[in-house]
Amino acid sequence: MATIIDGKAISERLRETIAADVVALAERGMTPGLAVVLVGDDPASRTYVTMKEKACQKAGIYSQEHKLAETTSEAELLALIDRLNRDERIDGILVQLPLPKQIDTSRVIETIDPHKDVDGFHPYNFGRLAAGNPLFQPCTPYGIMKLLDETGVDLTGKEVVVVGRSNIVGKPVALMCLARHATVTICHSRTRELAKRVAQADVVIAAVGKAEMIKGYWIKEGAVVIDVGINRTEGKKLVGDVDFEAALCRASAITPVPGGVGPMTITMLLANTVESRKRRLQP
């Protein structure tokens, strides 16, 4: 039976350390600050923004919430980002995605000062990650690496199979595993013989968004399974991309959904914001 990787407990521990860091910075008058920008009123985005806001408050991080109307023009949003880039109180800027269709998402991301890009989505940060010299690492993949570290997984020489190639999860996590000397295979919707590839993995990272599509019997005995997927079944149950119950009998360690990768994303956002503030202290 696999060990269950408790993302909630790991995340709580990390948040305590982050809060202690914030206290130390605040004592020097250098409280870290995060600006969260929400355009429109997508219910899921609103929930995420509220969660981020609450997490900041709990950690003692100064936060600004900018809620803009669905009809906001690209020029208005870019003007706000420009102000936040120059705001001394702000160390991190997060624009909640997706954006309404009149706004060019790439243009918005590229307008954020890369030194305040705590989401790690700016091409400068993506490039630095690819070059093996990261500044800000995207929060979900960064959280996955922390979970692996906390579980004592050494990736050197391991076969890692990442299922999914999105810019926010699949690609960056693959680069991070490569930087840790793993041999990495990235799979996607056109990959042939997915089951066979997964079966060769010492570590499987699933970031697809399809309920339980990775079957338990695909998993190699003793493999580590990180399930990033968040899916709702017809019965409204929250499940991952991996058939958890079946994989549990084969894996050596596995993340549950919920309570695995999910809690880590906001934790790493807080960590990046604090890191950003600390960098400004350096000459």
Q: How far is the CB of 29 from ligand NDP (least distance, A)?
A: 33
Residue 166 interacts with ligand NDP (CB under 6 A): yes or no: yes
Binders in 84-143 for ligand NDP, by CB under 6 A:
140
Stretch that binds ligand NDP, among 10-18, 61-69, 77-85, 203-211 (CB under 6 A): 203-211
User: Annotated catalytic residue: which of 119, 202, 227, 243?
Assistant: 119
Q: Of 73 and 167, which CB lies nearer to ligand NDP in the complex structure?
A: 167
CA diameter of the chain? 56
129 or 169: CB nearest ligand NDP: 169
Q: How many residues at the interface with ligand NDP, by CB under 6 A?
A: 25
Residue 119 annotated among the catalytic residues of the structure: yes
CB 67, min distance to ligand NDP, A: 22
Answer for which of 40, 100, 209, 259 binds ligand NDP (CB under 6 A) is 209
Secondary structure class of 187 (helix, strand, coil): strand
Q: Which of 6, 21, 52, 116 is flagged as catalytic?
A: 52
Q: Is 64 noted as a catalytic residue in this protein?
A: no
Which ranges of the chain would DSSP assign to H, the alpha helix? Answer: 7-27, 43-59, 74-86, 105-111, 123-130, 139-150, 170-179, 194-199, 244-248, 262-281
**C-alpha closest to that of 56 among 281, 273, 278:** 273
Nearest to ligand NDP of 72, 265 (CB atom)? 265
- CA-wise closest residue to 229 among 177, 156, 164: 164
Q: Residue 265: which residues within 8 A CB-CB, separation 6 or more?
A: 139, 140, 143
Active site residue 52: yes
DSSP 43-89: HHHHHHHHHHHHHHHHHT-EEEEEEE-TT--HHHHHHHHHHHHH-TT
- Measured from the CB atom, the residue of 166 and 185 that comes closer to ligand NDP is 166
Residue choice 208, 219, 225, 242 for contact with ligand NDP (CB under 6 A): 208
Q: Which residues are catalytic?
A: 52, 96, 119
